[in-house]
Amino acid sequence: MSHCVHLASDLHLGAEAAMTSVDRERRFVRWMRNAARGEGFAKGRQATEIHLVGDIFDFWFEYKRAVPKGGVRLMGAIAELSDSGLPIHFHTGNHDLWTFGYLTQELGVRVHRTPIVETWDGLTCMVGHGDGLGPKDQRYKRLKRMFASKTCQSAFRLIHPDLGIALAQSWSNRSRNTGENPLSSDMNEEHLYAYAMEWLETHDDNIDAFIFGHRHLPIDVSLVGHNARYINTGDWLTHLSSVVIQHGRAELLNHAASS
């Protein structure tokens, strides 16, 4: 069976930008349904699976009996498509890593906390959000270890959701620029490009495409000296971009002009 895989990241649902969070959510849900049905931009490209590659929510934390409000259109669409039998993969990002089972149990998604390697029609891809990879940002890597600790998670859960979510959203607003630095003229300064180069030079396994989010910049470049590419899915704050993999080929798409 031939595969058609659609990937997108960095919706940052809940954050306000040039387009409101609700309007972005509506467009993103339209993107998901078009991909699932093979309609609109996806005509002839009906999805066999969809990957949400991190930072879909600007902040997400699952208390025992509460989750952040909002996102009902998106979660309804995910549940609808998942219930129809379409595999939906949720890759945690640096803004929505605190999921402890609710998304899987309620929506049926498959959660990935680290990059995965999959081969679709002969194209081997590494897919993940991309935060904490590469040689830079040691401060964030320390923070991520702390955020991933059960002690930290248990302590945060003791804070009332009204206060805890407000504090987290304030931090999220300050930290959102982590992935938004301009594209360097020297690709070796791009930490995800550098990660992909280092990976190829230290592993025997073949990767044809490294597909990450986090940078908020649609990128599709060859890795110098290797028959491989680094592709960044961009974002839905500004670029409204995604990636499609079909017939063993990955393509970066722009949806800004679509209705």
CATH code of the domain in which 223 resides: 3.60.21.10
- pLDDT for 179 equals 46
More confident call, 7 vs 62: 7
Q: How far apart are CA 208 and CA 41, in angstroms?
A: 25
Token look-up 């890597």 returns 141
Share of the chain above pLDDT 90, in %: 65
Give the model's pLDDT for residue 36.
Answer: 98
Mean pLDDT of 108-117: 97
124-167 pLDDT, tens digit each: 999 999 998 987 666 666 666 666 667 776 776 777 777 767 77
Cα dist from 35 to 7, 177, 233, whole Å: 10, 29, 15
Domains: count for the chain: 1
Percent of the chain with pLDDT over 70: 85
Tens digit of pLDDT for each residue in 6-30?
A: 999 999 998 888 899 999 999 999 9
Q: Would you state the pLDDT for residue 123?
A: 97
Return the ∠ at Cα 39 (arms to 72 and 116), rounded to 5°: 65
> Tokens 């979660």, residue?
75
Nearest residue to 239 (alpha-carbon basis) of 212, 223, 218: 218
Lowest mean pLDDT: which of 21-35, 37-51, 79-93, 183-197? 183-197
Position 245 in a domain: yes
Please indicate, yes or no, if residue 159 is contained in any of the structural domains: yes
DSSP class of residue 210? E
Q: Is residue 42 part of a domain?
A: yes
Amino acid 170: pLDDT: 66
The answer to whether residue 248 is domain-embedded is yes
Structural domain boundaries enclosing 135: 4-179+186-254
Please report whether residue 259 resides in a domain.
Answer: no
pLDDT tens-digit profile of 207-221? Answer: 999 999 999 999 999
CB atoms within 10 A of CB 159: 15
Q: Which pLDDT score, from 0 to 100, does residue 23 have?
A: 95
The reported pLDDT for the residue numbered 60 is 87
| pTM for this prediction | 0.90
Mean pLDDT of the chain: 88
129 falls within a domain: yes
Tell me if 210 is assigned to some domain. Answer: yes
Lowest mean pLDDT among 46-50, 66-70, 111-115: 66-70
Residue 138 confidence (pLDDT): 64
Q: Which one has a higher pLDDT value, 40 or 62?
A: 40
Q: At what angle do helices 21-37 and 72-83 cross, to 10 degrees?
A: 10
Residue 223 belongs to a domain: yes
